[in-house]
Amino acid sequence: MLKLENIVAGYGHITALKDISLEVPQGAIVSLIGANGAGKSTTMKTIMGLVKPTSGRVIFEGQDITGHKTHHIVKNGISLVPEGRQILQDMSVYENLEMGGGIAYKYNKLSSKNLEGVSVKGLSSVPVYFTTRYNFKNDSEVTPYVKGNLGVAFNSGKIEAKDGASSVKFKFDSGIYYGIGAGIQYKNFVTDLSYNVNSLRTKLDVDLPGYKANSKFNTNHGALTLGVGYSFGL
């Protein structure tokens, strides 16, 4: 059971709740009805610990939870779903926010032309990522959207320069893959422009007469991509 005893609460010098008491038995459905400013939202916020009462108690299942932190109140079994502000307008969450996945293969040819003693293996990259898309509702058949990509790029490639007993090696390994983009969808056809970054894990080995060193660092490789596709609407 949820019980409020003589709650007084407000915002600064403004008192929104004056000596409010109520009981909600287990399994009951209760509605608070009142004009704007009557204190409905303040009552909910006080129960959830978002507003601390100046006097009175909030009791849930026999336990005094007055002034407890919100995440502790949620753990005890009380949740608050605030009213919508039409952030998603009249579209469903599924229609506005689409989660998908993607996989791509990229090969960048690294040239060693005119460089003696340089061995080059082209950069091979296979990004595997999730895509989140937000659609902007309008009355036409064209739906603009923004999207974000986040995943891992499985990279391989190296550059090695040798001169006798001396050598310098760069080796590229897997790293984070992320990006942002925007596009439009007309019926089932989509096109978008995105900027994606492949954060390469780079290993440097230096072997010179009398000197050896190695280090690891990230090398960001960005690319602007124009995509065209078809949505099957599964």
Q: How far is CA 163 from CA 50, 62, 169, in A?
A: 68, 80, 12
pLDDT score recorded for residue 79: 87
Q: What is the pLDDT of residues 27-66, one digit of tens each?
A: 899 888 988 888 998 999 999 999 999 999 999 999 999 9
On the question of pLDDT at 93 being above 80, the answer is no
pTM score of the predicted model? 0.52
3-state secondary structure of 74: helix
Q: What percent of the chain has pLDDT over 70?
A: 84
Task: Quote the CA–CA distance of 175 and 198 in Å, as a whole number.
Answer: 7
Could you report the per-residue pLDDT of 175-211, keeping only the tens digit for each?
999 999 999 999 889 999 999 999 989 999 999 888 8
**Span 120-172, pLDDT tens digits:** 777 788 899 988 888 887 778 898 999 999 999 998 888 888 888 888 898 98
Q: Two tokens at 76?
A: 């005890």
Predicted confidence (pLDDT) at residue 96 exceeds the cutoff of 60:
no
pLDDT at 216 over 60: yes
Among the listed residues 47, 50, 53, the one whose alpha carbon sits nearest the alpha carbon of residue 23:
47
